[in-house]
A and B are shown apart, each in its own frame.
Chain A
């Protein structure tokens, strides 16, 4: 076990607090000299790779546990199509191991640098949510370290309450030490992708509604700077895993080694770069991105290019300058599509620079009490935190989202209030009961949990 006082933030680099960072394996933590000996009045919270944007994986004045993978962190059961993976393993490491063996993770976010534990705790979604649901929907067993120091193995059948309180439970029910989940069989490390320029929001919404079911993966990048008749112009990208037949047709050179997987990352953006993602730069970038996309294109992309394009530039968030940034992500039900239109128009009219805005349709819920995805439209946008007046705009959007029966994603949140979460998550009270039964002395707590009165 290694212990260190550290200032921690989420990916957005806002609201730092200092806590005691403990790096340990699950076995070390459950020993007598482990968690119970380390945790004091300020409790403890798990931290994966800190890719959640806000304060969910930090605990001011308390303990923050970074799980070190054990001796045999990745075990693949080829017959059952199951992976048994330690909670601290990243999808990056995992994919390097399983892709060459013909498997893919059931859900990947826009970055490979998240842990399996964090994927369960945030019940993450990917471009395939409309088809496959969220990460939690593919899990069959969880190993957990409970508040009392005991180790448990749970399934949706054995402990349904604790199970669904943990899927999307933001680490507040216990430490997820290892996870068993179903994988997706693949024949190659490529995807067959259809990319298309869509001139405005209405065309986009219609296009996604009518063609999402033809593809396993689908997502739209929206230019939130464009206004008027260009409002909501976007690049829609939809794809499937490429079979060997697809490769023969579209990329014959890749047929010999179809499962080679060794993604590279480029050097970090250096520290101390001023905020270059200002309004003009973003406008220019968005224009370029839209223009450079062919009107329509059918071809192959690598797994990395299709799923994790941002991972190619290390620490790209430094481009936001020292003020940090936040991501605002919400979902509204399908019948509230007018609210989505209003919000997009509102953001575009305000003219705040948003470099990345992503629109997607969600499919079925997983069942997690605090899971974010629910059938409807979800929009995620990055915003620099230093911009004056942003708080007022987001509060206004909060009202629109909640009024339409929508909610906000806790893994991205750095701005919500207890009221906003209570209204967005009708099962919060029920979740609290289960959590309090699993952790009667309140060991698991994060800055976010305090801020949003989750515990």
Chain B
């Protein structure tokens, strides 16, 4: 990190994420040296909008392969040095079956919650060791109050969110920080073909919120920002209203 908080090394867990790519583009500066895109398979992913001088590396990483997470982080550090920013961007939405099929739901929990917790802890250990660095966790407003139509996905995001905010408190004083990001509906690969919800935005809008949040050392950011107030209300509206809003 330099005086402008510009990172030198960025690690993206869930390296194909459109939102993460937009964040990396916003954080890119002449200080940026490497970006590691970690995702299942590890095959090459195009990252547009960063300078050719930046080393972009794609590596295999599976959120469900929990026993490998600590060694995975160590390997990245051995190759690139201290990690300034880690973006936890993997996640699955799941099909309609996750709301009824116990196995499919359990698989979603494996990725979105267990994977988030175990990779988050592996990252936290490294950031603690460095005495600096930020873990940016892409949570979702879906976890703030779970909707009948996707309550299992919502429950996983609630779990990830609670973990992230708690980890942030646990890291206080260590120099390492967590920033929990709560986007609304974002037009991305994940939501392709779905009906847009109110307050929809683009990955670039989430990136703007993230970069502003990093600059101001925020622990939670909403994207778009107005959702913070929208959900302050939605959280407490009576159940029949909430159900009606979801239909």
Interface of A toward B, CB cutoff 8 Å? 5, 7, 12, 14-19, 42, 54, 59-62, 324-326, 385-386, 390-391, 395, 414-417, 447, 450-451
Complex CA gap A17/B130 in Å reads: 8
List the B side residues contacting A17 at CB < 8 Å: 130-132, 175
A16 and B175 contacting across the interface, CB-CB below 8 Å: yes
B1 and A15 contacting across the interface, CB-CB below 8 Å: yes
List the B side residues contacting A326 at CB < 8 Å: 3
Extra 15 A-B pairs, beta carbons < 8 Å, given A14-B4, A18-B173, A416-B2: A5-B173, A12-B3, A14-B5, A16-B132, A17-B130, A17-B131, A18-B131, A54-B2, A61-B128, A61-B129, A325-B3, A385-B3, A391-B30, A451-B1, A451-B2
Q: Does B75 contact A (CB under 8 A)?
A: no
Beyond A417-B31, A451-B8, is A61–B131 a contact (Cβ under 8 Å)?
yes
List the A side residues contacting B132 at CB < 8 Å: 15-18, 60-61, 447
A414 and B3 contacting across the interface, CB-CB below 8 Å: yes
A349 to chain B, nearest CB (A): 21
Q: Does B161 contact A (CB under 8 A)?
A: no
Beyond A18-B131, A62-B131, is A7–B2 a contact (Cβ under 8 Å)?
no
B5 and A18 contacting across the interface, CB-CB below 8 Å: no
Complex CA gap A44/B5 in Å reads: 23
Beyond A42-B129, A60-B131, is A391–B173 a contact (Cβ under 8 Å)?
no
B residues 1-50 touching A (CB-CB < 8 Å): 1-6, 8, 29-31
A391 and B82 contacting across the interface, CB-CB below 8 Å: no
Complex CA gap A19/B5 in Å reads: 18
A391 and B4 contacting across the interface, CB-CB below 8 Å: yes
List the B side residues contacting A386 at CB < 8 Å: 215
For residue A54, which residue of chain B has the nearest CB? B3
List the B side residues contacting A16 at CB < 8 Å: 132, 175
What are 16 A-to-B residue pairs whose CB atoms are below 8 Å?
A14-B2, A14-B3, A15-B132, A17-B132, A17-B175, A18-B174, A19-B131, A42-B131, A326-B3, A386-B215, A391-B4, A391-B6, A391-B29, A395-B30, A414-B3, A415-B3
For residue B4, which residue of chain A has the nearest CB? A391
Most central of B2, B30, B31, B174 by chain A CB within 10 Å = B2
For residue B6, which residue of chain A has the nearest CB? A391
Q: Does B95 contact A (CB under 8 A)?
A: no
In the A-B complex, the 5 residue pairs with the smallest Cβ-Cβ separation, listed nearest first, are A18-B175, A60-B131, A414-B3, A61-B131, A14-B3
B175 and A7 contacting across the interface, CB-CB below 8 Å: yes
Complex CA gap A395/B6 in Å reads: 13
The residue that B5 contacts in the complex, of A15, A62, A417, A447, with Cβ under 8 A, is A15
List the B side residues contacting A14 at CB < 8 Å: 2-5
List the A side residues contacting B106 at CB < 8 Å: none
B109 to chain A, nearest CB (A): 33
B130 and A60 contacting across the interface, CB-CB below 8 Å: yes
Q: Does B81 contact A (CB under 8 A)?
A: yes
List the B side residues contacting A60 at CB < 8 Å: 82, 130-132, 175
B169-187 interface mask toward A, CB cutoff 8 Å, 1 = contact, 0 = none?
Answer: 0000111000000000000
Complex CA gap A12/B1 in Å reads: 14
Complex CA gap A7/B174 in Å reads: 8
A417 and B131 contacting across the interface, CB-CB below 8 Å: no
Complex CA gap A390/B29 in Å reads: 12
List the A side residues contacting B128 at CB < 8 Å: 61
The residue that A15 contacts in the complex, of B2, B81, B173, with Cβ under 8 A, is B2
List the B side residues contacting A416 at CB < 8 Å: 2
B173 and A417 contacting across the interface, CB-CB below 8 Å: no
Complex CA gap A170/B31 in Å reads: 21
Beyond A16-B175, A61-B175, A450-B81, is A415–B129 a contact (Cβ under 8 Å)?
no
Complex CA gap A62/B82 in Å reads: 13
Complex CA gap A51/B171 in Å reads: 28
A257 to chain B, nearest CB (A): 44
For residue A60, which residue of chain B has the nearest CB? B131
List the A side residues contacting B4 at CB < 8 Å: 14, 385, 390-391, 415
List the B side residues contacting A391 at CB < 8 Å: 4, 6, 29-30
Complex CA gap A450/B215 in Å reads: 22
Complex CA gap A269/B195 in Å reads: 55
B residues 78-131 touching A (CB-CB < 8 Å): 81-82, 128-131
Most central of A61, A391, A451 by chain B CB within 10 Å = A61
B219 to chain A, nearest CB (A): 16
For residue A15, which residue of chain B has the nearest CB? B1
B175 and A415 contacting across the interface, CB-CB below 8 Å: no
B residues 122-172 touching A (CB-CB < 8 Å): 128-132
Most central of B2, B3, B6, B81 by chain A CB within 10 Å = B3
B129 to chain A, nearest CB (A): 5
List the B side residues contacting A12 at CB < 8 Å: 3
For residue A12, which residue of chain B has the nearest CB? B3
For residue A398, which residue of chain B has the nearest CB? B30
A425 to chain B, nearest CB (A): 18
Complex CA gap A414/B174 in Å reads: 22
Complex CA gap A16/B217 in Å reads: 12
Most central of B6, B31, B174 by chain A CB within 10 Å = B31
Complex CA gap A12/B5 in Å reads: 13
List the A side residues contacting B173 at CB < 8 Å: 5, 7, 18
Most central of A17, A62, A447 by chain B CB within 10 Å = A17
Most central of A59, A324, A417, A450 by chain B CB within 10 Å = A417
Complex CA gap A445/B81 in Å reads: 13
For residue B2, which residue of chain A has the nearest CB? A415
B212 to chain A, nearest CB (A): 11
Complex CA gap A451/B29 in Å reads: 14
List the B side residues contacting A395 at CB < 8 Å: 30
Complex CA gap A61/B175 in Å reads: 8
For residue A386, which residue of chain B has the nearest CB? B215
List the B side residues contacting A15 at CB < 8 Å: 1-3, 5, 132
List the B side residues contacting A447 at CB < 8 Å: 132
B27 to chain A, nearest CB (A): 12
Complex CA gap A417/B6 in Å reads: 11
List the B side residues contacting A18 at CB < 8 Å: 131-132, 173-175
Complex CA gap A302/B5 in Å reads: 40
A316 to chain B, nearest CB (A): 18
Complex CA gap A326/B132 in Å reads: 20
Complex CA gap A363/B6 in Å reads: 35
A61 and B130 contacting across the interface, CB-CB below 8 Å: yes
